[in-house]
Amino acid sequence: MATPDHRRFKDSIYEQFARLGKALSAPKRLELLDLLTQGPRTVEALAEQAALSIANASKHLQVLRAARLVDAEKKGLYVEYRVAGEDVARFFVALRGLAESRLAEVEQVSRTYLEQRGALERLLRSGGLEPVEGDELLRRVRSGDVTVLDVRPVEEYRAAHVPGAISIPIDQLRARLKELPKNREIVAYCRGPYCVMAIEAVQLLQKKGFTARRMEQGVVDWRARGFRVERGEP
């Protein structure tokens, strides 16, 4: 039979574990954490990208900070947030993978969205939705057989990107098509499997006569596989 001290110890330990569960129990906090795995951001930028008011974004970030999942740093007039460590990013990838393997609704929601956009049929027909695995992409990059295109915002590219990737944010792609070669396959990536920027990029590129495919893995997935990333300006 457990002694009172033993019981208090067990209760205290699991109470600490539960802090993480409570911090991640809101969908918007998960989205904010996902955005922060791409690179540091201010509250204002996070609020805009997550469709939140600045006040609500700040409240969610305080909960994540209290659970030691994110850190904050004052920079001039703004407060910049970042994930508290690489282990947090790996934890998020593992959580997403667990949801994908245990919850059929994840795939159903994704497929319904793509079908409604009319993207699924076109990309399946062209092969653009076929995922390109990280190690296969790495092989192609090293051999010079493929052009890797990062369509995320420039600040995310600066924070970390796939080695050799070209930075053209999705909102600039149409105007900068001349910067891309037509004689090599282009593999576009963004923030991971549930980011639609790479899908939009592949659709546009194929429409303009490029050979293009989408990579499901983002930089966070790339690092989780143990692959090297680069940092710095485009």
Question: For residue 99, how far is the Cα from the chain centroid?
Answer: 15
pLDDT at residue 127 in the model = 55
pLDDT at residue 40 in the model = 94
pLDDT at residue 200 in the model = 92
Q: What one-letter code names the amino acid at 186?
A: I
Domain definitions of the chain by residue range: 4-87, 117-224
* Catalytic residue (one of 69, 72, 160, 190): 190
**Residue 113 corresponds to which tokens in the numbers above?**
């969205």
Which helix or strand (DSSP H or E) is residue 73 part of?
Answer: strand 70-75
**Residue 55 corresponds to which tokens in the numbers above?**
């006040």
* 190 in catalytic set: yes
Q: Does domain 4-87 have CATH number 2.160.10.10?
A: no
pLDDT at residue 217 in the model = 86
Q: Name the fold adopted by 117-224.
A: Oxidized Rhodanese; domain 1 (3.40.250)
Could you tell me if residue 76 is left (phi over 0), alpha (psi between -120 and 50 degrees) or otherwise beta? left
Blockwise average pLDDT, block size 10, the chain, 234 residues:
81 94 96 95 95 96 97 91 95 94 91 71 55 66 83 95 94 96 92 90 93 90 88 88
Which residue in 40, 77, 38, 80 sits closest to 58, CA to CA?
A: 80
